[in-house]
Structure 1
Amino acid sequence: MPNIAIDGVTLEVMRNALQSIAEEMGVTLIRTALSINIKDRRDCSTAIYTPQGDLVAQAEHIPLHLGLMPTIMKAVLKAYPPNMLKPGDAIMINDPYISGSHLPDVCVFSPVFFDRELVAIVANLAHHCDIGGMAPGGMPVNATEIFQEGIRIAPVKVRKEGKLDEELVGFITNNVRTAFEFRGDMEAQLAANNVGEKRIKELAQKCGAPFIKIYMEEMLNYSERRMRARIKEMKPGVYAFEDFLEMGEADLIPIKVAIAIEDDHMTVDFTGTGGQVKGSLNCTRGVTLACVYYAVKAMTDPEIPSNGGAFRPVEVITPAGTVVNPQFPAAVSNANINTSQRITDCMLGAMAQVRPDRAMAACAGTMSLLTIGGIDPRTGTYYSYVETYGGGMGAVHNLDGMDGVHTNMTNTRNTPTEVMEMAFPLFVNKYSLIPESDGPGKYRGGLGLTREIVILDHEAHVTISTERSFTEPWGLFGGKPGRNSHCLLEQDGAVQVLPARITTVIPANSKIIYQTPGAGGMGAPWERDPQDVLRDVMEGFISVERAKTAYGVAINAATLEIEENETRKLRQEKLSA
């Protein structure tokens, strides 16, 4: 390796060059994908690695995916070390016990060679709408082992020296319900890697492969230095937090974390967390690491470049056989949806003690999954609708939480109602925010949302997976919790309550009513600016009565004006209490 002097300006130019390539890969994947889940909801991520498998650049897509990226490639290179890779190869994998995610998340990796030298590895991860298994969508809540969740793909070359292995592709698509859609999305993944390969070769043509490799390593070192500097600024000590996953009102799964900060190093210990369960809430170590990395970066310096070097100073202890590091063959599909969010809640709750200026109250705490699948009566073919729904965002120290958005470990978009009704035999009866689902506070938590879907002219296999149905999204520093989630089924005018997690068959022309959680507030509610309370009343977010009881603000319902004397009296009573 030649001796090349490193300078800050060139480092930033090279960092942005690789970041731009990763972003262009993401655009290519989204624009060429076949499924709504990728082309509309953007449930995918892209990244670039060093030849040794260290993450060096990634597009700003899904936090859960991005946090997984530093660990996946190392595992893949154990099966396919660099001497087994050739130009034109592409490796596919979805096994959670290797890749870390759940089965619908299929990863594709491609080596990039220049002058016969391995310069980099480009990669992407995309959530496919079906992966086989016992229920459409590949995320049945009643699975007790991973074999029930779908087809497992160990690291395998789906493309060899530029030639697609049609026999392998046929084997995979023969085991999924929506084969045509799977094939289309897989080819979009290959196309995205092709773009990344082309752009890196162009970069190597300009400055040479050794130059790129040296600066890749320096990018990792730079992120490590910045992270160590931020950790060193924190007060040393041990900061603990505990939260719970819901298995039933009498059966809660504790998630415990203790964060030890010493000098420029951080140890995150999940000792005391509940054991793995007979269900799909078990969270692989890879996903747990993603949650830790996200929370640490968010609470230290979000501007630190997202690469493997940033997390060298962070040690993570995940006891084997627990819900944060299960042993094979535990089912894992719904951990991404729910457990990952609770791990993040715990991390943020603990770090709020050392960085209150960056703290955020609990968000919805779930990605609120809904999958609907069956035979489309219009075409006679299988369909699979997959979507996660937004909820409330927790309030921060100087701002209200956003309403009806994805938070923390996910940031996918929604499926537009018009697109959904054209693509699937479904009718959206209602899609709106939920009034009074906020967590009261000086800064209130965000509102949850509701969607009402009618299943048209056929029975369908449905999976609902949400959280916070009886445990509440907590507030901070005097803030109050947000509203719980609620799931209902309406048939022939009768309404029944559904569990927060269920995989079942729903009769034709039934209506699913899905209501996601709100979020916690920040600071005492009676410290909220009365004008902000009035604005929420005028927007229809809260009622006149809630303004009075929760925030201590009296509003004349006829004129929608603040009654100042009554408000002062109410707030004085709050302070006296």
Structure 2
Amino acid sequence: MSDKGFDAVRTAVIANKVDGIVREMTNTLLRSARSAVINSARDFSCAIVTADDELLAAAEGLPVHIVGAQLQAEAMRAAHPELREGDAFLDNNPYIGNSHSADHTILVPVFVEGEHLFTAVTKAHQADVGNSIPTTYHAAAKDVYEEGALIFPTVKVQSDYKDIDDVIRMCQARIRVPSQWYGDYLAEIGAARIAERRLKELVAKYGVAEIKQFMRDWLDYSEKMMSRAIEDLPAATLHNTGRHDAFQPYLPDGLEIGVKIQIKPEEGLIHVDLTENAPNVDCGLNMTEATTRAAVFGGIFNAIPARVPKNSGAFRRVLIDMNDGSAVGKPRFPHSCSLATTNITDRLINCVGAAFAQLGEPYGVAEGAVGVGVGYAVLSGQDRRTGEPFVNQLCVTANGGPGSAHADGWVTYGVPCVSGLMYRDSVEIDEIKMPIRYQHLRLVPDTGGAGKHRGGPSFELAYTPKADPITVIYPCDGQVNPSKGVAGGGEGRTAEAWLEAADGTRTRLPNTATVVLRPGETIHGFDASGGGYGSPLERDPRLVLEDVLEGWESAEHATLTYGVEFTTTEDGLTVDAEATAERRASLATG
């Protein structure tokens, strides 16, 4: 871009105002939705897209949600070339631009003086979308028909600001919790209409010409910042692989993921090649174009030490090659993409981010914990308190984040596709919305991947029905292949799950399971943890001491893993510097 005529102050002010609109959308949806997965865990995102389908602003939206928003806006315009003020559209089509069928997206074209200037986008993960089983994660679905979800390819749901009742009734007739879904739908529509109102006010203040100039300048500025960030990287070609756990009988050997990354600082470009990956698989683990792009961008932004706006301007500097009909790329209808936002996507984010660690400090990150396990399960059954069926997803777990060149892994990381941007459930809200009782939730010492900067620790939880049986469905990963450390860092712990009978006996559960949990029985989950960055012997002994004092590490494990010796004085536990130096020298040599 040319700097001629670029008004930095005006651009910064308006950019912050637009971000403020997205945050108001977010607050509206958070406060008014009905599903616990939305109003407690915040598994949703809001964004603003330009009329020519470039992502303009997403504030703190989840990367796996917002990177495809511009693809959905493009699909909306292709399907409805005569857009009108007062229109709204519902889209959850994974074969065009959506993340997966569970993410219901509302798109509202925003008009000013009769001209389409923006598209307001809200996307929320629903508790139920009519799948053939009561979960929005159907790992075993061989195709979209077995998956069972209602697919809406940018279908008009409002005209002249009024609901199109046929579509609403279709959803209410098929979805297991119709009133809950309708409350979430109204919340999404409300958030998008808030954006419409605020964007009109913004244009009224600055004028159409000024706002159009801002949009060009903001996206061009973002592209320039991304180009400069890449120019600061060393030229390199990076290769990395990852592997999803086996899933019997669909993926008996698991699924290998490969990525080739060419960093071209002289061109200000990163070229990512995913074309060597496997074709679509006959289960619900296939990625979509949107989640493939989101995984690549998420991995890159995690790995490079630069502050760059996350919008279509920055995306211009990353070229991605992917195949049609690939499990890591664009899906071919009717292959199921039920888990497109999580399992393989999480492995790809890790694969891309960890690849940059091959450049050495300060680049790259270790692998973050994977696995939508027991703490992310979808629960369903009959609630005797209301006499009504319930379906809701838990988001109560933690999963350890990756160590980086700058910091330890985030404790409440979630999974790589979330990277700490979702909330953890309120225990009280979960127990109000669902007839369950939590037995315990706790972090587990000595579990984070060791390193100069360690990974976030594992998390353990357990819950039981209050009175009646409940069905627990989860599609985990990470019980076999742990999160890898980088640059000499240690790998994280793997995930586990057990079913505890009323007499206390335990049965180990597989990665992916459907369990009918009866009164007196308890389901236990043990999260994976994050990998470490750098050699554990390079960790500052003062940080190791702090870890011991705070309970993140036991003294024995700290000595064994980090080579730090302790002594007790009148002031309490302290580091024995001389003994530590001797032990570390011994560990380093053999």
TM range (shorter): over 0.9
In structure 2, the partner of 1:385 is 392
Shift in CA distance, 524/162, structure 1 to aligned 2, threshold 3 Å: same
Residue 589 of structure 2 corresponds to: 576
Match of 1:105 among 103, 110, 113: 103
Give yes or no for contact 2:444–2:460 (8 Å, CA) kept in 1.
yes
1:290 maps to 294
Q: How does 1:22-421 map to 2 (within 5 A)?
A: 22-81=22-81, 84-149=82-147, 150-248=149-247, 251-262=253-264, 263-300=267-304, 302-325=306-329, 326-354=331-359, 356-368=361-373, 369-388=376-395, 389-410=397-418, 411-421=421-431
Aligned partners of 2:152, 2:568: CA distance in 1, in Å?
61
Return closer, same or farther for 1:476/1:158 CA change in 2, 3 Å cut-off. same
Judge conservation of contact 2:302–2:364 (CA < 8 Å) in 1.
no
User: Is the partner of 1:538 in helix, strand or coil?
Assistant: helix
**Cα 1:439/1:298, change in 2 over 3 Å:** closer
What is the deviation of 1:475?
A: 1.1
8 Å CA contact 1:463, 1:503 repeated in 2: yes
Report the CA distance between 1:248 and its aligned residue.
Answer: 4.8
Asked if 1:450 corresponds to 2:460, the answer is yes
**Cα displacement (A) at 1:166:** 1.6
Q: RMSD of the alignment, in Å?
A: 2.1
- Residue aligning to 1:486: 496
Between 1:529-538 and 1:552-561, the stretch displaced more is: 552-561
CA contact (8 A) 2:362 2:406 kept: no
**Structure 1's 206 and 443: CA in aligned 2 closer, same or farther, altered over 3 A?**
closer
Which of 492, 495, 498 matches 2:509?
Answer: 498
Change (3 A) 1:71 1:169: same
Encode CA deviations 1:509-552: one digit per residue, 9 max, x unaligned.
Answer: 32111111111112222232333323323333222331222122
Following superposition, the deviation at residue 32 of structure 1 comes to 1.6
1:547–1:7 Cα change, 3 Å: closer
Amino acid at match of 1:40: S
Report 1:553-572 matches (<5 A): 553-555=564-566, 560-562=573-575, 566-572=579-585
Any gaps of 5 or more consecutive residues in structure 2? none
Compare 432-441 and 554-563 and name the one that shifted more.
Answer: 554-563
Cα 1:373–1:166, aligned 2, differ >3 Å: closer, same or farther?
same
Q: CA deviation at 1:99?
A: 3.0
The residue type equivalent to 1:45 in the other structure is S
Q: Take 1:147 and 1:456, find their aligned partners in 2: how far apart are those partners?
A: 34
Alpha-carbon distance, 1:387 to partner? 2.5
**Are residues 355 and 319 of structure 1, via their aligned partners in 2, closer, same or farther at CA, if it must alter by over 3 Å?**
farther
Q: Spell out, residue by residue over 1:167-224, the C-alpha distance to the aligned partner (whole angstroms, 9 max, x if none).
A: 2101112111111111001001111111111111112222222332232122222212
Could you say what secondary structure the match of 1:194 adopts?
A: helix
Mean Cα deviation higher: 534-543 or 100-109: 534-543
Structure 1 stretch displaced more, 248-257 or 374-383? 248-257
Structure 1: give runs of 5+ residues left out of the alignment.
Answer: none
SS at match of 1:335: coil
Contact 1:70 1:307 in 2 (8 A): no
Q: Secondary structure at the match of 2:425?
A: coil
Deviation of 1:367 after TM superposition, in Å, equals 4.4
* Distance in 2 of aligned mates of 1:135 and 1:458: 19
Distance 1:536 1:381, change over 3 A: same
Deviation for aligned residue 1:504: 3.9
Distance of 1:311 and 1:529 partners within structure 2: 37
CA shift for structure 1 position 313: 2.0
Give how far 1:34 is off. 1.8
The amino acid of 1:402's aligned partner reads W
Farther off after superposition, 178-187 or 538-547: 538-547
Q: 1:203 to 1:534 in 2, by over 3 A?
A: closer
The code of the aligned residue for 1:397 comes to A
- Distance, in Å, in 2 between the alignment partners of 1:252 and 1:103 is 24
Look up the SS of the partner of 1:199 in the other structure: helix
Count of residues in correspondence between the two structures: 572
Secondary structure of the structure 2 residue equivalent to 1:107: strand
DSSP-derived class of the 2:95 partner: helix
Task: Give the Cα separation in 2 of the matches to 1:120 and 1:13.
Answer: 18
In structure 2, distance between residues paired with 1:100 and 1:171: 20
Q: Are the equivalent residues in 1 in contact too, given 2:245–2:253 (CA < 8 A)?
A: yes
* 1:566 Cα deviation from its structure 2 partner: 4.5
Q: CA deviation at 1:119?
A: 2.0
1:426 Cα offset (Å): 0.3
SS of residue paired to 1:247:
coil
Instruction: Read off the aligned partner of 1:255 and give its amino acid letter.
Output: I
Cα deviation per residue 1:411-454 (whole Å; 9 max; x = unaligned)?
21111111111111000000111222111122221102111011
The CA deviation at 1:562 is 4.4
Indicate how the Cα distance of structure 1 residues 67 and 301 shifts in structure 2: closer, same or farther if over 3 A, else same: farther
Cα distance change, pair 533–207 in 1 and its aligned pair in 2 (3 A): closer
Q: Which sits farther off after the overlay, 426-435 or 148-157? A: 148-157
Cα distance in 2, alignment partners of residues 171 and 507 from structure 1: 33
Partner residue in 1 for 2:563: 552
- In structure 2, relative to structure 1, the CA distance for the partners of 1:394 and 1:236 (3 Å cut) is same
